Structure 1
Amino acid sequence: MSENEYVVSVEELCARKTVKRLVGRSDHEQTPGPVAISESQKNVTAVNDKGETASDIQDFRKSVDSLKEKSITSTTNNHKPKPKIQKVPMVLRSHKNFERYYEPRVVSIGPIHHQKAGLILEEYKLKFLAKFEEDSGKKIEVLYQSINDQILELRKLFDREVIKNYDDVTLSRMLFLDGCFILEFIVYFSDVIKGRKLENFDLKDDQTVYVQQDFLLLENQIPFLVLKLLMDSSLDKFKSKLISSIEEFICQNVMAPKDRNQYVVAHFSLEKEPDPTHLLELLQKAATFSPQSRDQNAARRQTTQQSFRNVQELRAAGINLKPSKNCSLTDIEFSSISFAGWLKLPPLIVDDSTGPKFFNLTAYEMCPDNFRTNYEVTSFVTFMDSLIDQSSDVKELRKKKIIHNLLGSDDDVALLFNEIAIDLVPNPKMYKDVKDRIQEHYDWRWTTWMAEAYSNHFSSPWSILAFVGALVALGLTGIQTWYTIHPAADS
């Protein structure tokens, strides 16, 4: 091949023109001077030394322009899109107990685990459908049509991979049946909680517990829009009952003692969450709701390196533990006076359902397209993990009525928090003010010495009484000695 190569484009063939391009030229060869280009040559598609034309990167140009347009629209409307219904993020799928914490035990909801082998309550869905038709006051055909008419919109609420094998009819039937089952079961569950006379569904107590846990798994969700469409299609009286039952269901699943649960009941309502993604998101909002805002100046403070490791070290530094007034996972505060400090933590029930709930709530917050969260649950779990190293830390939290251990031994609770916190990345701004204030108190060494002295010598009322008695005895001995040396003058 000669030193000079000619590349001819379609436009050139039409115009019978060619554009000369030098190729294979070494650095030491002389570069030719400028060449005049005619107007027709300016319109020829540019070609680089790799044979790529300008048209090859037009897809990039269109994609970048599209992203810019979406960004401007989102900023203008202050809109955070819903996260799509999807599988557990890849980073969490290698967990050794994945099936135990993330997959349904007795019933599947939605497309991810549809018709999974071994689930024992699939046939119960038809029983609940028949009861829902009766309670809603509408025929099955009318209820189904409300879902089928919106199937194109509902498809947009799923990750594409999740529903790629489902046509519109199959997906409509699945969402309709599962939606009716969810709503009627939640009404049934509400009646169980209130001790009312129950419809006979032949459900055992353990099955009822497992179903409500299955409803709160990330991979076992359907769009809340399905539930809303079915509620809107029902008679008003039953619709009101459905709304109150959903609120009660969510509040009952907040991991808080009964006396603190009333705080959630009083403040949480569907009206405050007008556009939820699914039931799991509703639980996340209820568990982290608090009227108190976190310190906005925390991010502007100089960050201090955390050196305290667990509850026992905090106690040694004179920091006491107290339960918060409400049960929001975000309600963590620290205050101090002199050498004493108080760390307030939300009271938490730890039982067999706590692990699956925390695992799925944190997985939901970690979904790649979830921009509706500040990692509240993730940050709480990692903060608690920083306080809990071993059973003695759990024991202290239990004594202060912060952790209510219904799981088993204190070792089991410590292992659970250590397990949940693996691979989690918290929001660095959450609790930054709390951590910095604890560290400042911890670094004030004389407070640690005072606290250690108090802990070692005044840990019980008897030691305090003994100390006071010793002081009194020492005082009386001093007075006696003084009068021995300086006897009173005779009157």
Structure 2
Amino acid sequence: MVVDGCFIIELFRKCFTAVTPGKYARKVFIERDDPVFNMSWMITAFRYDLLLLENQIPWRVLDCLFMLTRENDETNEPSLSELTLNYFRSYILGKHPKKIEEVGSKHLLDFTRKCLLRGTQKDSNIHRNPVQAQIPCVTELIQAGVKFQRTNDSMLNITFENGVMKIPTIVVCENGESLFRNLIVYEQCEASVYEMEITSYAMVLDNLINTSSDVDILVQKGILFTHLSKEDIASFFSKLYNNTIPGDFSYKELTDKVNEHYHRRCNRWKTILARDYFNNPWSTLAFAGALLGLGLTFIQTFYAILAYRAPESDEGYNYP
């Protein structure tokens, strides 16, 4: 554990040196024959391995080793949390998580999770039965008039107001599945975690993304970024939280608003009208002409009814 911890701290310091010039950068340098940095695949492999749940070293061990290896006269040396965020920044789903207080973190995976959750707005309604909290996929919501917008908010802050669903940017790379799964497994296995935000987030994404058409829409909206194929992404989200059930579902309020909007028939009718009759100028003119003809026909019928006179009564008429 001590050897692994020293290796991790030295790795973090060298990576910080590579991107941050200055006084501290001269303290820990990268050797020319260092295989970790001379082989391009090794940095990615280490990022993958260091966030596996089974590979976690207690944070207090890393912090103890970090303090023991820190020079007393070094005043501008970054903290352990700054080194950690610098190393994992490009790996954490394309996000820029904010630094948190180091006290209370159990290990690197727990620290990463807390950084991702920082700035997340809490749902006032916590649902105990997530099986009933299902929402339609993107394609079906589009047919019901729902619009999708990209935001630069915290990762988990998915909102729905006035028929507009705002989703923070989602970046999925080849190693994204590993990070997602380890975060979900950690929430399932850690007794101190009560609100399972990552698992709930995975459930919402699984509901939204069922087919490659759903992926295509999110990519066009600038919400989803990936180098994988549409089919692989759809399969990735459909299997993301298999055999897991969050004790507390964090998106109850969101799912209620979405389902209420989706089940209103008038929203579908307006969408069909806009899609079939107002999608180009010619169809709009044709629809307007049809309405004008219908209106003129109604007016003609109305005046014909007004002009109609009933025959006079023949009471008192003497027949021969």
Q: How far off its partner does 1:354 sit?
A: 0.2
Q: Which consecutive residues of structure 2, in runs of 5 or more, have no partner in the other structure? A: 300-320
C-alpha deviations, 1:184-232, integer Å up to 9, x for none? 1112223445598733312301011101111110001110111111122
Contact 1:223 1:278 in 2 (8 A): yes
2-structure distance, mates of 1:307, 1:256: 27
Which residue of the partner structure matches residue 270 of structure 2?
450
CA shift, 1:324, in A, is: 2.6
Match of 2:78 in 1: 241
Kindly report which structure 2 residues correspond to 1:221-236, keeping only aligned pairs within 5 A, or say none: 221-233=56-68, 234-236=70-72
**Secondary structure of the structure 2 residue equivalent to 1:241:** coil
Root-mean-square deviation (CA), in Å?
Answer: 3.2
1:276 aligns with one of 87, 105, 120? 105
> 1:428, 1:214 → 2: CA distance?
29
1:278 positional shift = 0.3
- Whole-Å Cα distance in 1 between the matches of residues 269 and 134 of structure 2? 17
Whether the 8 Å contact between 2:194 and 2:247 is mirrored in structure 1 is no
Distance 1:456 1:308, change over 3 A: farther
Does the CA contact (< 8 Å) of 1:215 and 1:279 recur in 2?
A: yes
Distance in 2, Cα, partners of 1:323 & 1:348: 9
| 1:391 matched residue in structure 2 | 212
Kindly tell me the number of residue pairs found equivalent between the two proteins: 286
Taking the aligned partners of 1:270 and 1:455, their CA distance within structure 2 comes to 47
How far residue 309 of structure 1 moved from its aligned partner, in angstroms, is 3.0
Tell me if the contact between 1:347 and 1:403 (Cα under 8 Å) persists in the aligned partners.
Answer: yes
Tell me: CA distance 1:373–1:235, structure 2 relative to 1, closer, same or farther (3 Å): farther
User: Deviation per CA, 1:309-331, whole angstroms, max 9, x where unpaired?
Assistant: 31111111111111233242x20
> What is the CA-CA distance between 1:446 and the residue it aligns to?
1.1
- SS in structure 2 opposite 1:240? coil
Match of 2:92 in 1: 254
- Helix, strand or coil at the partner of 1:344: strand
8 Å contact from structure 1 (residues 382, 426) kept in 2: no
TM-score, reference length from structure 2:
0.79
Structure 2 equivalent of residue 431 of structure 1:
251
Identity %: 26
Q: From the CA coordinates, give the structure whose radius of gyration is larger.
A: 1
Alpha-carbon separation, structure 1, partners of 2:9 and 2:223: 33
Question: Taking structure 1 as reference, are residues 468 and 379 closer, same or farther at Cα in structure 2, changes over 3 Å only?
Answer: same
State the secondary structure of the residue aligned to 1:394. helix
Structure 2 residue 52 is matched with structure 1 residue 217: yes
Task: Name the amino acid aligned to 1:279.
Answer: L
Aligned to 2:316: none
Equivalent in 151, 154, 157 of residue 331 of structure 1: 157
SS in 2 for 1:397: helix
Residues 309 and 274 of structure 1: CA distance in aligned 2, closer, same or farther (over 3 Å): same
In 2, Cα distance between equivalents of 1:304 and 1:187: 45
Contact in 1 for aligned 2:47/2:88 (Cα 8 Å):
no
Kept in 1, the 8 Å contact 2:195–2:249? The answer is no
Q: Tell me the secondary structure at the aligned position of residue 67 of structure 2.
A: helix
Q: How many Å apart are 1:376 and its aligned residue?
A: 0.9
CA contact (8 A) 2:194 2:248 kept: no
Aligned to 1:349, what secondary structure does the other structure show? strand
Give how far 1:306 is off. Answer: 5.4
Equivalent position amino acid for 2:77 in 1: S
Q: Which has the higher contact order (CA 8 A, sep 6+)?
A: 2
Q: Which deviates the most, 194-203 or 389-398? A: 194-203
Q: Partner letter of residue 169 of structure 2?
A: P
Alpha-carbon offset, residue 432 of structure 1: 0.3
Specify which of 183, 191, 201 is matched with residue 361 of structure 1. 183
Q: 1:44-68 deviations in whole A, cap 9, x for unaligned?
A: xxxxxxxxxxxxxxxxxxxxxxxxx
The answer to whether the 8 A contact 2:137-2:209 is kept is: yes
Scaled by the length of structure 1, the TM-score of the pair is 0.53
CA distance in 1, matches of 2:263, 2:35: 60
Superimposed CA distance per residue, residues 305-363 of structure 1 (whole angstroms, 9 cap, x where no aligned partner):
556431111111111111233242x2010011xxxx11112211111110110111111
Matches within 5 A, 1:465-480: 465-470=281-286
Mapping for residues 70-149 of structure 1, pairs under 5 Å? none
1:109-139 Cα offsets, whole Å, 9 max, x none, are: xxxxxxxxxxxxxxxxxxxxxxxxxxxxxxx
